[in-house]
Homo-oligomer: A and B are copies of this chain.
């Protein structure tokens, strides 16, 4: 059975000097250990996250895809690369450079490795320009963060960017980042375990409850990472609230469940019960294999959760493992 992993990350060999040209204190760079196998994503002198070679070396990436029997993987930036808080022009140059490096990574095996671009989201004109430039140069979509400072996904600025993508048939993966904490829950990766799924749910809910889906073109291909965060499980709570509380429904003519055919989610939920609920809720045409590879919080055996799920039939598995992604990205079968 064909398998396409549509959510994976890369981080290029960025030297400290190059990062420093964007921001000496916080722009990320890659420190590779002496053995060449492991390393750290760094911000200035500070380790941000331990990583290993599959993140930057397409040779090892392809070896791992072979081992997991994955036919194609779509890579995109590690969110710390986004650079949304810098001057637009500087961020646009940075994004273009990262996007070129992503294509270089994929050029090792262009049939099996594809890339989604990053954009300088803080500047609408430059973000649209980079999305289109990246599309023309071979990227098959863009990845954006789920919010821009204080602006959630329903903000006019972000809607205008999504509009551009819809009109130009550029698929969009929305990835949580810059996680809400109110200054709490620093330990044990709580921002990744708790706030990331909440950020993603927030983004979906803000598109729904603002009425944004009424204005966005139906042609827009939109996917949310990590199974859409906590959205599917909490849909009942939102649905009840929309029906029973005036201020919840004031921006949206239909209840949340009306909009489930307007977006996709990936399958990175790590539990067969959660995947059952996800597919039952979203439908088998709206879930795509996504692994978050090669991070420890990603799938350890890419595609296993879907392929071995006892409750999904062969047709559903074929769609989730590959068919939906082919449609989403407009790829040839």
> Residues on A close to B: CB < 8 A?
147, 150-152, 180-185, 187-190, 192-195, 197-198, 201-202, 205-206, 209-210, 226, 230, 232-241, 244-245, 247-248, 250-251, 268-271, 273-274, 276-277, 280-281, 296-297, 299-300
Contacts and interface: CB of A to CB of B under 8 A. Distances in A.
Given A152-B185, A209-B188, A244-B296, A193 B273 contact: no
A274 B236 contact: yes
Nearest to A275: B236
B240 A270 contact: yes
Q: Give the copy number.
A: 2
Given A180-B195, A190-B205, A194-B230, 17 more contacts: A151-B184, A188-B205, A188-B210, A189-B241, A190-B206, A193-B237, A193-B238, A194-B234, A197-B234, A198-B230, A230-B230, A232-B233, A233-B233, A233-B269, A237-B268, A245-B297, A273-B277
A268 B205 CA distance: 19
Contact of A241 (B193, B205, B232, B236): B193
A209 to B, nearest CB: 4
Contacts of A268: 237
A280 B273 contact: yes
Given A183-B150, A189-B245, A206-B190, A274 B195 contact: no
6 contacts: A150-B184, A180-B180, A197-B234, A235-B271, A240-B270, A245-B297
A185 B197 contact: no
